[in-house]
Structure 1
């Protein structure tokens, strides 16, 4: 039977409600999963006129009450936004608070086994901060909610799969976070994810931190002191790893089919090339959680909220990846 997926609407002032409706207007989504939305139904009703193919937004009291019928969007309502309607395209603490409440409910359902996975629309980091919430993004919130201690962000798109050793830290702090243990854990999570989605014996390219991957110590010590030792231990485990690789050429090599997965040391090392190739279609997958979680690879796009211009392609891809992982 097709897995049930909980899809959160993200920040109600952004494009989240619109892209959720657009994705669920596609019959193909219902062919691969049973989607139930988690959010404030008023945000969806406000955007329903922007979308063809959705006739009704229906509140469900529980997952068991959802109909999973194309044309009718089932919504679970763990929290209703106060002072509705909130203006589109503006940071508001209530929108930030609500977005977190939607995620909490989706994760709760996943941990209880009521849904097979969680797919998230974008939240806004400034709105979270204005609400007094300490999370720099979904990844850290999800780790707290699930009790995960070792977790990583993966981006998939444009023929690339990139797992990040560090993410939401300043570059100065991130450099200090590049340790042998952290790199090795990232490789391990990559291997485990590959097995889950049917990639046997993945070829993993591990990027260096410094220009030319340090040029044998000429441009930095991290490759010698942290990345190289992690690679040696990974090979001892029997994993097919390569590196440290100069980041400026590794992505071309992966695109040509030499590697199945790349491990990037820094947020922008991985994000920039992948979003250049697949900005509207890239997917964020969290590795190391006890639940399946995927997300869009874009933000709240306040500048186009409510205009009917938002693309649902990233969310569609996120749903497809979640459906695949939930079945594995």
Structure 2
């Protein structure tokens, strides 16, 4: 993936987003920093500059005020509706600017879902927000985690297992797989291979553990193969991942949130990138949260944000 102009939103301004944005920018060469425009409240960045001493870095950044906070609303480490509203507003502004052609991709800082919920905003993660802002169906945009040598796309995300199972269809799984295939090709993989997790343990062992795989993942795999794609499975996720040494896949399709998140976060703790794929706007974010326990202390590391920036930009490490 190569993007020359990036819109970078702060995420939750009361979290570590402002701090890691400045620290990441400080590690970029001037020519790379010039391609960034930061979206978010200035007061949060100014406070981060005081904590980190990166006043010169802040002065070198283009800033577009978005999701402004009034006096007293910027409180590092505090979960609040104002901060949640700001995170969604700054990311939405960056997505709209990218959709308008001003930027090639969006990189978003970590959000806090409780803060967004306190603001009364319906939010299921950045993929849903990309879909909403771009006016596309929510089921057409998916999350792909990249880290630890894995690429895992999620057919469902932030919802209960029962809710996810009720809306799972072969079409949804096929769409997730096609989005993963397209994203892998954008990363330079000419003929991506995919592997499909099952719904139930051992992909249901026929129907021993229920009819769900015969209803959902088996027909999805058949349709994908009929399209000419290389697809392994459906199979239990543990078996597919255990076979990586002998039968690696370029991307895996997880059915539920934890199926995909656990292996990536085990292999790449605090260092994974999250891609919202399937829409006209590409958004990358950190694979970790807003770390309210250390927000405003200067302890946060920018590793995951730097990886996300480099993943979509093609900039060297």
Superposed pair shares fold, TM > 0.5: yes
Hey, what does 1:97 align to over in structure 2?
85
How much does 1:171 deviate?
Answer: 0.8
Q: Give distance in 1, aligned partners of 2:3 and 2:171.
A: 38
Asked if structure 1 preserves the Cα contact closer than 8 Å seen for 2:67 and 2:88, the reply is no
Hey, what does 2:146 align to over in structure 1?
156
Q: Give distance in 1, aligned partners of 2:239 and 2:207.
A: 19
| Equivalent position to 2:155, from 154, 157, 165 | 165
Tell me how large the CA RMSD over aligned residues is: 2.0
- What secondary structure is seen at the aligned counterpart in 2 of 1:55? helix
Q: Give distance in 1, aligned partners of 2:249 and 2:19.
A: 36
Hey, what does 1:206 align to over in structure 2?
196
How much does 1:112 deviate?
Answer: 1.1
- What secondary structure is seen at the aligned counterpart in 1 of 2:284? strand
How much does 1:306 deviate?
Answer: 1.2
Q: Give distance in 2, aligned partners of 1:207 and 1:2.
A: 31
| Equivalent position to 2:298, from 308, 314, 319 | 308
Hey, what does 1:40 align to over in structure 2?
41
How much does 1:297 deviate?
Answer: 0.7
How much does 1:192 deviate?
Answer: 1.3
Q: Give distance in 2, aligned partners of 1:18 and 1:187.
A: 35
TM-score, normalised by the number of residues in structure 1? 0.90
Asked if structure 1 preserves the Cα contact closer than 8 Å seen for 2:194 and 2:232, the reply is yes
| Equivalent position to 1:232, from 216, 219, 222 | 222
Asked if structure 1 preserves the Cα contact closer than 8 Å seen for 2:10 and 2:21, the reply is yes
How much does 1:206 deviate?
Answer: 0.3
Residues 23-102 of structure 1: matches in 2 within 5 Å? Answer: 23-28=24-29, 30-31=31-32, 34-51=35-52, 55-58=56-59, 72-84=60-72, 86-102=74-90
How much does 1:175 deviate?
Answer: 1.6
What stretches of structure 2 of length at least 5 have no aligned partner?
Answer: none
| Equivalent position to 1:147, from 108, 111, 135 | 135
Query: Which aligned runs of 4 or more in structure 1 are off by greater than 6 angstroms?
Result: none
Change in Cα spacing, 1:2 to 1:180, as seen in structure 2 (3 Å) is closer
Q: Give distance in 2, aligned partners of 1:172 and 1:197.
A: 34
Deviations 1:154-197 (A, max 9, x none): 00000000001110110111122221111111111111111212
How much does 1:79 deviate?
Answer: 3.7
Bigger shift: residues 265-274 or 94-103: 94-103
Deviations 1:32-67 (A, max 9, x none): 971111111111111113436651534xxxxxxxxx
Hey, what does 1:13 align to over in structure 2?
14
What stretches of structure 1 of length at least 5 have no aligned partner?
Answer: 59-71
| Equivalent position to 1:183, from 161, 164, 173 | 173
The total of aligned residue pairs comes to 312
- What secondary structure is seen at the aligned counterpart in 1 of 2:238? helix
How much does 1:84 deviate?
Answer: 3.4
Q: Give distance in 1, aligned partners of 2:3 and 2:152.
A: 28
How much does 1:137 deviate?
Answer: 2.3
Hey, what does 1:272 align to over in structure 2?
262
Deviations 1:71-122 (A, max 9, x none): x122111342012352211111111111111112101210111111100001
Asked if structure 1 preserves the Cα contact closer than 8 Å seen for 2:3 and 2:105, the reply is no
Q: Give distance in 2, aligned partners of 1:30 and 1:174.
A: 44
Change in Cα spacing, 1:203 to 1:75, as seen in structure 2 (3 Å) is same
How much does 1:231 deviate?
Answer: 0.7
